Structure 1
């Protein structure tokens, strides 16, 4: 039986990838800070990655609204000018034979009103993060606890950003549900103390993620959607799941419910075991 090799082509969803090499998302902060528009330097950056032969490129995190922004120079995907800038990127990547997806990002409480047009950070609960805002070097501010109306609005913003991504020439999107950002803030008992249907227990805390995924899938299809999830939190370095196996099972159950199968488990330590000698990726494969 032939073994699969890194340079062998593979089909994932609707993507016919020329090999199994994936470029992980990396924050670049190269966009115009006022407009969130990417320029020729970003076009050339991603063109070169495609020219290098990468099978799948996942972009840096892209804001789905002004309130999603967590530091300087982060691009957006919610205005016509931003879409025009990204269209030049996707055209360049496709001309090199590459495949590229947009990572959609909302940092939630991990920001400051000086970055979000004067608006306070948003979060599932009014719990202030410890530490300093990336590059701004000011303390995180007390976030505004999101109402159900706020949650619905942000869910719609994810769906619209996904549509904008496809209209800008992207081959799909990755939803950033990891590392202690907004979706992950809902997922975790450390940042979510709500008593409504978005809180109380693990299954209900995953409701926001589930609704975001369902809205994006309805807009562009499950075969074009990736979900990134994690145990690790950027602002809570010592955080651990109380029951890793229960947590992974709950996440997988949500993914199965909405029909998504392209998963991006994220960890800083790929060989670290979580339970019964299994790593995060081994646990995910188990279920």
Structure 2
């Protein structure tokens, strides 16, 4: 794979042939996408902190990206229950008021010809009781995370180990969140199974020390994830369901599987058993070699012939090459779409991409 350029002006032009891939339409699942460019899920924390309802600023934020021609918009992480919340100001998808708020967003996106799915999310142990309805965070085992809750600056609470009844309730909450997303006008959902949040906590031996059917070796630890996927697919269909997974963890950023190829092979086996057909492997750097000279997405493609969304500090050349080689089907961009509402227009017309500036853009919606 080509290396990620650190030069801003690399984003200022497209070489011959790039348009034929990045900007061509594609059908994946139930979705007819206008381009192979996706907007990655980006936590923005602009919802009402008390109600989890999105407002008109969020409507306009997503409308602009749809008007620009983004093929698939994946929403910011949207929690499935009050106890699933781990940051102030994140939206929810479990109340009627939240559904009504999101409906304004999806109507605006659809008017611009866009396709949008909701990323449904439960943070598990990465929370604090003041955020999670004054209840302890839920987790597979009583193992607290180290550090401070992001954007809240208080230490992570000691979580409560989920009972079998709790597990069944949360699986049902994922399924209901998927139904609520469809009721809100979303075209489908992405299950957030990555980055050290609840599903990934079940997947990891760092956070899962259970001795029942939800614990054990990696194959067995993936049981909770498979049950969530099956429940969501039963609720809205596999052609409207995507699953995101990763080794990366928000609280342990340098973590990597001991044997990446074995782990990926085991995950892919689980996805197939659960009936998934679209997956979103997440890694910080798309061209990082993990094992046997292959990147994460190359290893995934080795075992998976379904749809793959590629992400990881991509630039246009790298994304186009990966699509041409059949490694990914759609390329997801994150921070450039925060700082550039007209990202695709800029790419097509050779205009410089505004670099993401955390001080300028973290607390701003444009």
TM norm structure 1: 0.98
Partners in 2 of 1:136 and 1:22 — Cα distance?
29
Shift of 1:271: 1.1
The superposition leaves residues 186-244 of structure 1 with CA deviations (integer Å, 9 ceiling, x where unpaired) of 00011111111000111110000000000000000000001000011110123221111
Partners in 1 of 2:34 and 2:289 — Cα distance?
32
1:45 equivalenced with 2:61 (yes/no):
yes
Partners in 1 of 2:75 and 2:207 — Cα distance?
27
The superposition leaves residues 54-86 of structure 1 with CA deviations (integer Å, 9 ceiling, x where unpaired) of 010000000100000011100000110000000
Partners in 1 of 2:288 and 2:42 — Cα distance?
22
The superposition leaves residues 79-126 of structure 1 with CA deviations (integer Å, 9 ceiling, x where unpaired) of 100000000000000000000000001000000001011010010000
The superposition leaves residues 133-165 of structure 1 with CA deviations (integer Å, 9 ceiling, x where unpaired) of 011101101100101110000000000000000
Partners in 2 of 1:189 and 1:159 — Cα distance?
25
Q: 1:128 aligns with which of 144, 147, 164?
A: 144
Match of 1:273 in 2: 289
Partners in 2 of 1:262 and 1:117 — Cα distance?
33
Over 3 Å off, 4+ runs: none
Match of 2:126 in 1: 110
Partners in 2 of 1:242 and 1:18 — Cα distance?
39
SS of the counterpart of 1:5? helix
Partners in 1 of 2:52 and 2:180 — Cα distance?
14
Match of 2:222 in 1: 206
Partners in 1 of 2:30 and 2:132 — Cα distance?
35
1:141 equivalenced with 2:157 (yes/no):
yes
Q: How many residues align?
A: 286
SS of the counterpart of 2:120? strand
1:260 equivalenced with 2:308 (yes/no):
no
The superposition leaves residues 163-202 of structure 1 with CA deviations (integer Å, 9 ceiling, x where unpaired) of 0000110000000000000000000011111111000111
SS of the counterpart of 2:242? strand
1:67 equivalenced with 2:83 (yes/no):
yes
1:247 equivalenced with 2:279 (yes/no):
no
1:197 equivalenced with 2:213 (yes/no):
yes
Partners in 2 of 1:274 and 1:32 — Cα distance?
40
Shift of 1:263: 0.8
Match of 1:158 in 2: 174
Partners in 2 of 1:242 and 1:75 — Cα distance?
35
| Higher mean C-alpha deviation, range 232-241 or range 247-256 | 232-241
* Structure with higher RCO (Cα < 8 A, 6+ apart): 2
* Cα root mean square deviation, aligned: 1.1
Q: 1:28 aligns with which of 27, 44, 49?
A: 44
